[in-house]
Structure 1
């Protein structure tokens, strides 16, 4: 069993408090897209990014697909494409992994069954309570993805693509401020607006669907989008599965809550269908 590391920091450790927070984020309004194939959602503390994540997850709230592949970021530089056959625990209970799919994809040498490599990474874990809140019965495949060249991203997409699965890329967008070592001179006239403008350009590249242009923009300009590789992988999987459109569902920054210009992070929720 993979035990939670984000409970009490990224989201409440108390079952009742977590449910109350999710109820507040989701609200009564439901926007459902039965043809949804993929999502990009943030993975910050729920206080900051929970509303954006919940609004995006609403798009799959009544989906008949009950298997999810969560593409997590490799924040700590483990350097391998890792998955795990362990079920994952949160304050809402245990979430079951899809052993059959994991067995299939780990036949390829590119993907390692390495639960130990995932113990300290939060980007997959923080997505699970949203799924537990929406679905009483689902399975998922955790996939922690390091920095990869585009040709390997495309090869990996072919391995994991499955028409009966919804794919979730876990990523925050621009990390701005002295805390992140990213303070371009152009931002002096309005840091929060600068982040929003920059993220708008990045989101436009995702919507255009050209994975190479997206990756080149991130890497050539040293952009601070922590999960750009999971996003690129999602884009390639969506091409294989025939997704026709990408749309922005929600966007905000941490500044809305913290009003701290030393650390502003952008949170985008996107839907592929």
Structure 2
């Protein structure tokens, strides 16, 4: 039974269960339950010192007693994928306890012929999935033997491919026992990211970044995938999880158009790693959101 190690523990977040539990408790305690129970969340995947507090606002919306499966969609940072990939691991290790991959759902997804398998070294090098596992383990601790995870690494998808994966995953989003975790940071600004968009009408650079991200968040809240695609084409905002977000929007659109589901997505928290004031600065933005069925 292959176990995917917590390869970023001890660097991106604490490898001490006691210390990590205290941190997550503090962050969750500072977040309000205002848009739940979540059926899907969007949350960042940076080091916890930068985004842990922001992530808490998404995770606070989850009702763990309702959850039997957690689908985690994260972007691929280190290998180029034209589609989506599944793990070869049976379990994912965290400082709290091991999370079990849902073999039944994996077999169903494998059977579509639309998924690759990622090697263990690719899986362990990637952080976009792992950074959500401690939060999931924490939230689900009382039910740790009663749920499974479905990790999906999302590649550089065309809009048509986003739509195809959205259709494929829409039936799982419709199931009230499933939670979707969409892993994404927002604007990566600065010369080291090769992105220095600046609209001086909005004030200083960090204020321009905020307005840029807010435009994107407002469009995501409309659950309109084509509008989000148009926004990305216009501004080229460096939202690293744009494809997982696109897949979620496509899945939601399938359900809304089917006429049997109403839903609402709301952003709850926004933060930046630092405030950029000149062209030599850099920052990464973080945002947390919750999707509920009405």
* TM-score of the superposed pair, with normalisation by structure 1: 0.92
* 1:99 and 2:113 matched: no
Which 5+ residue runs of structure 1 have no aligned equivalent?
none
How does 1:56-67 map onto structure 2 within 5 Å? 56-67=58-69
Alignment root-mean-square deviation, CA: 2.2
CA deviation after TM superposition for structure 1 residue 55, in Å: 1.3
**Aligned residues of 1:254 and 1:264 also touching (Cα < 8 A):** yes
CA deviation after TM superposition for structure 1 residue 35, in Å: 4.4
Alpha-carbon distance in structure 1 between the residues aligned to 2:229 and 2:27? 31
- Give the corresponding residue for 1:175: 188
- Give the corresponding residue for 2:258: none
Alpha-carbon distance in structure 1 between the residues aligned to 2:7 and 2:252? 30
- Which of 15, 20, 23 is equivalent to 2:22? 20
- Which of 104, 113, 116 is equivalent to 2:117? 113
How does 1:175-254 map onto structure 2 within 5 Å? 175-186=188-199, 189-241=203-255, 242-254=261-273
Structure 1 range deviating more: 74-83 or 111-120: 111-120
- Which of 60, 76, 79 is equivalent to 1:77? 79
Which 5+ residue runs of structure 2 have no aligned equivalent?
256-260
Partner secondary structure for residue 269 of structure 1: strand
**Aligned residues of 1:249 and 1:271 also touching (Cα < 8 A):** yes
- In the alignment of these two chains, the number of paired residues is 272
CA deviation after TM superposition for structure 1 residue 180, in Å: 1.5
CA deviation after TM superposition for structure 1 residue 30, in Å: 5.3
- Give the corresponding residue for 1:3: 5
Against the structure 1 CA distance between its residues 153 and 167, is the aligned structure 2 distance closer, same or farther, given a 3 Å change threshold? same
Deviations 1:240-265 (A, max 9, x none): 34342111111111117x99972211
- Give the corresponding residue for 1:160: 169
**Aligned residues of 1:82 and 1:118 also touching (Cα < 8 A):** no
Q: Could you list the runs of 4 or more consecutive aligned residues of structure 1 that deviate by over 6 angstroms after TM superposition? A: 258-261
Against the structure 1 CA distance between its residues 210 and 28, is the aligned structure 2 distance closer, same or farther, given a 3 Å change threshold? closer
Structure 1 range deviating more: 240-249 or 140-149: 240-249
